[in-house]
Structure 1
Amino acid sequence: MRSSGLRSAAIAAALFCASLGAQAALFEDDEARRAILDLRQRVEAMRTQTDQRLTDDNAQLRRSLLDLQTQIEAMRGDMQRMTGQNEQLTRTLSELQQRQTDIDDRMKKSEPAKVSVDGREFTADPREKADFDAALGVFRAGQFAQAQTAFAEFVKRYPQSGYNASALFWLGNAQYATRNYNEAIANFRSMLSLAPDHAKAPEAVLSIANCQIELKDTRAARRTLEDLTKAYPQSEAAQAGRERLSRLK
């Protein structure tokens, strides 16, 4: 009987221990599941945070890229404006340089230059030279009335000109050709008074005598021719004057 009771007690003890072990195992499984759930929640939370951070970072990156693109476009626009301004400045500088060149050329053209007329050298303005040459061209074209006007205006316009002695000589010749003998004599004498050593001076004296002959003033013409041969004895005009004297009565 005792043996049977001991066995029953052992069996009961064994069952109790097994029950405790089962309970312990169940407890451990619950803890494990809770731990796993907790871990999953933490991982999910971390994943959510990571995704949000990535989303935020991507949004920030997109904003940064947009800002950078905007800055690049702004810089491109600035560069285009600067390029346009540089091109305009280059054109403006080129125009200013051309203007300066034109001004320099005009100044050079308007500057007095040395000229030589009838063996006399002097300084004359380009316009002054052009006006004299134009008047002389009119005379040589046989337009004596126009030449008379042109030389008279020249002497009036340029009273201090180095051309004046020559201008008076040609003015007298134009007046002789248009039979304005008294005016011609006056201008030939003005020319001789201004430049008695002029290359055309002997011709001017001979021309005065010719005007006096045309005016039938033989006595005055003879005196003039005698003065010519004395003042300019070696000139061709003096030789012509001697021949003219021999024919005067």
Structure 2
Amino acid sequence: MSFRLAIGSTVLVLTLSAPTALAADNSSGISSSVAADLLYQLETMQQEVSQLRGQVERQQYELDKMKALQKDRYIDLDKRIAEAMTQARKSAAPAQTISGSVEQDDATNMVASAPVRAAELDPASDEAKQAYDAAYQLIKDKQFEQAQQAFREFVKAHPNNVLTGNSHYWLGELALVLGNQGEALLQFKTVIDSFAGHSKVSDATYKLGIANDQMGNQTLARDYFNRTIENFPDSNAAKLATNYLNNMK
């Protein structure tokens, strides 16, 4: 701001002095070439001020855009939390696995609703459920960094649990919210590659598109969006992917 004020002051001085110089051309002996040079300097300074003003306005626009994007991330995360809770309450049947059934708990909200490497996954013990619920509660409380750490501890302690795929998905969501697209890519790919058939695979595929778009990888982003639409045509993720594609430049 001080730089802009300095320039403005200089322009004002030149603006006020230029007419005086021209008026004094005959009385004080100032040459017309000096007066012309003064006017040229004034015009140059005005152009520079205009350019600087344009740069400031562009920077302000980018800042506002970044703030809006960050807000959208929080809104998107809140929306997905609400949708997950609604789906959990509406679900009438528990998820079935080879080793038995796992009841979908309102406190947990996120138990997979489709067969997920059933023969290899451990059932959700009381300890695992409590750890997962505690991490998930941190998300609802918007304590995102603490939630991230809690889910990291969960997947480390329970690498093959029926709740592990959900945990990797939420780690991806949290990474997006906290601005770490690289980790988001890793977490969402883990859901897809290591938990085939998981109910979060469609959402993870869609989120891979968003993460790549935010990183400037538009070609990969479009590929993931199209993959979401083709592989999960009836999912909510497919609708979101379609809308996102339509709004991409």
The structural deviation recorded for 1:195 is 2.3
- Distance in 1 of aligned mates of 2:102 and 2:219: 43
The structural deviation recorded for 1:114 is 4.0
- Distance in 1 of aligned mates of 2:225 and 2:183: 19
The structural deviation recorded for 1:115 is 3.7
The structural deviation recorded for 1:243 is 1.5
Counterpart in the other structure of 2:174: 174
Which amino acid in the other structure matches residue 118 of structure 1? A
Alignment pair present for 1:119 and 2:113: yes
- Distance in 2 of aligned mates of 1:170 and 1:153: 13
- Distance in 1 of aligned mates of 2:201 and 2:240: 14
Instruction: Kindly provide the CA deviation profile for residues 103-151 of structure 1, in whole angstroms up to 9, marking residues without a partner as x.
Output: xxxxxxxxxx944313258722211110001001111111111111111
The structural deviation recorded for 1:172 is 0.7
Choose between structure 1 and 2: higher helix proportion: 1
Asked if structure 2 preserves the Cα contact closer than 8 Å seen for 1:132 and 1:163, the reply is yes
- Distance in 1 of aligned mates of 2:245 and 2:123: 40
- Distance in 2 of aligned mates of 1:240 and 1:177: 18
Asked if structure 2 preserves the Cα contact closer than 8 Å seen for 1:169 and 1:187, the reply is yes
Instruction: Kindly provide the CA deviation profile for residues 149-198 of structure 1, in whole angstroms up to 9, marking residues without a partner as x.
Output: 11111000111211110010111111111011110111111011122322
Q: Pick the structure with greater CA Rg.
A: 1
Asked if structure 1 preserves the Cα contact closer than 8 Å seen for 2:112 and 2:163, the reply is no
The 5 A counterparts of 1:1-249 are: 114-116=102-104, 117-120=111-114, 123-249=123-249
- Distance in 1 of aligned mates of 2:184 and 2:124: 26
Counterpart in the other structure of 2:4: none
Identity across aligned pairs (percent)? Answer: 26
Structure 1 gaps, min length 5: 1-112
Asked if structure 2 preserves the Cα contact closer than 8 Å seen for 1:229 and 1:242, the reply is yes
- Distance in 1 of aligned mates of 2:242 and 2:223: 12
Asked if structure 1 preserves the Cα contact closer than 8 Å seen for 2:165 and 2:191, the reply is yes
Indicate the structure whose relative CO is greater, using CA pairs within 8 Å and at least 6 residues apart: 2
Aligned residues: CA RMSD = 2.0
Q: Tell me the secondary structure at the aligned position of residue 129 of structure 2.
A: helix
- Distance in 2 of aligned mates of 1:114 and 1:209: 31
Task: Tell me the number of residue pairs that the alignment of Structure 1 and Structure 2 aligns.
Answer: 138
Structure 2 gaps, min length 5: 1-100, 105-110, 116-121
The structural deviation recorded for 1:247 is 1.9
- Distance in 1 of aligned mates of 2:203 and 2:192: 10
